Structure 1
Amino acid sequence: MNSPSKKNLPDKGPSNPSLPLVELEDVSRHYTDGDVMALNHVSLSIRHGEFLAIAGPSGCGKSTLLNMIGALDRPTSGSVRFCGKTIDATMNLDRLRSQQIGFVFQSFYLLPNLTAEENVQLPMFGIEPDAKRRTDIAKELLSEVGLSDRMKHFSWQLSNGQRQRVAIARALANRPVLVLADEPTGALDSESGTSVMRLLTRFCHDRDRSLVVVTHDNSVAKQADRVVQLHDGKVIRDKASGR
């Protein structure tokens, strides 16, 4: 698979790659509604270009941890840093998420009234003012994920595996330095899931992007450089995957 041209996909990266991309220090997240301690004094760091899997049973805090990493939620205590800068009330989180982080979800979240090409363009509005450039980037990414013949199809005209491919293309539209995927194979059959994970890992590896995947699937976790195992909101294992 060829990487998209630099002309259509301008590269960007961390200002200081010697720093960890993301650092969580003694992070806890307590939800008063239900009195749930979703994360309990979690500390970890994510390196540039690393593929990290977050594993564990349902309800162990995986999605909450991913939300912390992606600046979708804030800790009750502790701190989260992105490229050395603390994520707090003074940081423009919308800008951080739109320009630096790409999200891939189990449920795809494609807009049904938009074509695949239009869905991929969505993150670029407000960042890329040139309509032709947005179109060119979307077409190139969809071609890269094997959907050159489905660009004008609506999401309801696509299979689950094809929808997830559109979601991956959308997540990469703004050249994020970090891609977060929450159970990206959970709604797919085994063959489609394997294909999607191969595509996602290759995309990030070819572009030296960090990838964090939440999964309960051991076959997915084994593909990662490193696996963080959670139980009851605590990290009980953090080591190389051994693949």
Structure 2
Amino acid sequence: MKNCLLPQNDQTQCNRTFAPKLDELLAFRINQPYFPVDLDQLYKEIIISTQASFKEEIYAIIPYGRQYTQSFVLYKDSIRLVDASVNLLAEKCLYQHLHMEIESYKRTLKVFLGKTINTLPIASNDFSLIPFSLTFRPRVYSWINPGRIENLFSKSNAAPTIVQLTNGFNIEIDRQQRPIFTRMERAFLTQGIIKRDTETQPVNVTMSLLEYLGISSTKVTRKVTKNVQYQHIPGFANDFHRKYQEIHDAIVIEKWLNTKSLPKK
């Protein structure tokens, strides 16, 4: 935007772009280790986009706005502000990478991880995302990539926890560290399930899950995967996609039968 005549305090409005580099943003540059990035300041520095990019690895999807209808989508070096909810973007991410519907995907994943688990990660061959609900809006989530967590900061391991990513971006979540570790391991195993289905090369069953997935080797990721190997991934190769197709077909048939059984007007 050229020839901008805004007052000095509003000059940041002149330089806004759709997908700015993180180090160009004031909100990111003034970020401190024990505090989350100021999302209100971040909002002032980015032009709202209508869609996210799913071609590069996502580091986080963060809800924003009075009704949480907009989202920050964070990447390694850049960020977008998208006019869509976090849950919708997570579903689109899943479909872009796996061509799977979210309902069938969740039912399939419960077969491998346990039917009582409600907060399920989404994953691709290359990364995963963990949902952390906002306590006052239990159906609204921040989605965080566990493979890019550098550190966790909290007072006496109590909530809230500041999640520091490997690109230096800090996010606050209302969880203690221990359940974060549990969800991280679950997400890594999910990514392992997905990756194993497309793996063509033989893998040593005792290979560390950290090495197999190619996630960042940080103090946190090493702690979570310390005793987890390739052989600990639930199920067997090709089980997930085969089970997904079975469950998805059953859901489609069930919905079709329900429409047929509806009373005619």
Say whether the fold is shared (TM-score over 0.5): no
With normalisation by structure 2, the TM-score equals 0.29
The higher radius of gyration belongs to 2
Q: Which has the higher contact order (CA 8 A, sep 6+)?
A: 1
More helix by share: 2
